[in-house]
Amino acid sequence: MSISKQSNTPKGLTTALVAFLIWGNFPLYFKMLVEYNAVEIIAHRIIWTFVLLFVVVLLARRWAGLLQIAKNPKWLLLTFLAALLIATNWLVYVWAVTNNQVLSASLGYFIQPLIGVALSMIIFKERLRILQKIAVGLAMIAVITQVVWLGGLPWVSLLLPLSFGFYGVIQRYTPFDALDGLFLETLLLLPLSLLWLSQAEVVSSQLSFWLSSEIWLLMLAGPITLIPLLLYNISAKLLQFNTLSFLNYLTPSIVFLLAVFYYHEPFAWQNMVVFSLIWLGLILFSFDLLKNKKG
């Protein structure tokens, strides 16, 4: 299947910005769930996101669009792969936040756009202009500085960008819109989530918990997950892949600020260098977008 070259649109930029701003503040929510097992939290994210999507699909009567999957079974396989990738991304991130590894998660999302840009050039044959190349170069220097400072690359910082980068690629290959695609992904993961919760010795395996007021905090994972992911999926079809990838830097920048100034994780001059290089790259990249804006 061939993929046509995508042009940036104002709607795509807006939806992407809002999505990344919400994701950047995710630690505030997941820090409230530190008493729960990370897999347990992800199981609840899948369940409540599916429930919310089911209501939306039911009210909107969107069943006809979902029947497309019967026309080509490979779309079901691609959707299942996307589901596994996004579930992996969720799990790694939640584990990092609840285990005081917020800076490692931030590093992972710093690296993520670089992987996205590489994928855009290899798979979608997109090309970078000179200012975009300089911006990516600054980001690469920032990542190298962070890696040298940490003395290596944590597994959290590797799995986060790889899982989300390939998830974005699959989104471009499937024929489903944002809502239908996410509904199918959570539907495919729902049996695994319910089975795990019923077998694992966790809080949610107790009937009394499902009848208590504490369940509401985990139920919030549905809308909190759904809103930014839908916005991302929409923007993935309205922006060039390298533009979408670079805008990812908003998320780790916010996470970085929370880690240092709110959660008081260790701060050094290297952090300031990384932060400054990232934002300088964002300024150059944004300037290039405005300069080459069509219409």
Helix (H) or strand (E) holding 181: helix 178-199
Tokens of 201: 């010795």
Q: Are 234 and 124 in contact (CB under 8 A)?
A: no
DSSP 252: H
pLDDT, mean of residues 49-65: 86
- Reference 268, options 98, 157, 155, 146; nearest CA is 146
Q: What is the distance between the alpha carbons of residues 232 and 222, in angstroms, rounded to a whole number? A: 16
- DSSP per-residue letters across 108-139: HHHHHHHHHHHHHHHTS-----HHHHHHHHHH
Q: Is the whole-model pTM more than 0.95?
A: no
* Per-residue confidence band for 150, with pLDDT thresholds at 50, 70 and 90: low
Q: Which residue is listed with tokens 């992972």? A: 108
Q: Are 81 and 170 in contact (CB under 8 A)?
A: yes
> What pLDDT is recorded for position 7?
67
pLDDT digit string, tens, across residues 32-56: 999 899 999 999 999 999 999 999 8
Q: Are 123 and 148 in contact (CB under 8 A)?
A: no
pLDDT digit string, tens, across residues 185-212: 999 999 999 999 988 888 887 878 887 7
Helices (H) and strands (E) in the chain, counts: 15, 0
Q: What is the distance between the alpha carbons of residues 278 and 255, in angstroms, rounded to a whole number? A: 13
pLDDT digit string, tens, across residues 81-108: 999 999 999 999 999 999 999 988 988 8
DSSP 167: H
Tokens of 86: 């996004």
pLDDT digit string, tens, across residues 240-282: 877 777 777 788 889 988 998 899 887 777 778 887 888 888 7
Tokens of 44: 């609840």
* Per-residue confidence band for 19, with pLDDT thresholds at 50, 70 and 90: very high
- Residue 129 phi/psi, 5-degree rounding, is -80, 170
The domain segmentation of the chain, as residue ranges, is 10-291
Helix (H) or strand (E) holding 290: helix 269-291
> What pLDDT is recorded for position 22?
93
Phi-psi region of 267 (alpha: psi -120 to 50; beta: other; left: phi over 0): beta
Q: Which residues contact 131 (CB under 8 A, 6 or more apart)?
A: 284, 285, 287, 288, 291
| CA dist list (Å): 187 to 40, 64, 135 | 17, 16, 39
